[in-house]
Amino acid sequence: MSGNNTSVEHGHEGQHADMSKKLIWKVFFYLLAITCLEFFIALVLVYNGPLEKGPLVNFIYVVLTLVKAYFIVAYFMHLKFERMGFIIITLIVFVFIIYFIILLLTEGSYLHTHLHHTFG
């Protein structure tokens, strides 16, 4: 009876054979380094240093956050080991979500500007 369970476990193990403890720790330290870089930018460069809050700093935070999101989704959610069709479908949904967020922000700023002039 236990022989049947091991074959099922080995089948699942074969899919994610590339995910070793060494790789998990490597990705963990990448994420830790990116997080430390974000804190360094926020506490040293922006708060006490040469950078000022604005679009450049926001862009840097967004890029660093997207890099961290890639590592989390690719390795810890095992998306890197999935088939290409699933990855493409997931990316299409992600692009639509980003597109709708941009549309909502654009519409919101338009309404804020025009309603402020109308009722202000």
CB atoms within 10 A of CB 75: 21
User: Which stretches does DSSP call E strand in 1-120?
Assistant: none
The least confident of 11-25, 51-65, 82-96, 98-112 is 11-25
Question: Rounded to whole angstroms, what are the CA distances from 92 to 10, 68, 89?
Answer: 32, 19, 5
- Give me the residue label for tokens 């959610």: 77
pTM of the model: 0.59
Average pLDDT across the chain, whole number: 79
Ordered by start, the domain boundaries in the chain are 18-81, 83-120
pLDDT of 119 over the 90 cut: no
Q: 22-53 pLDDT, tens per residue?
A: 988 999 999 999 999 999 998 888 888 788 88
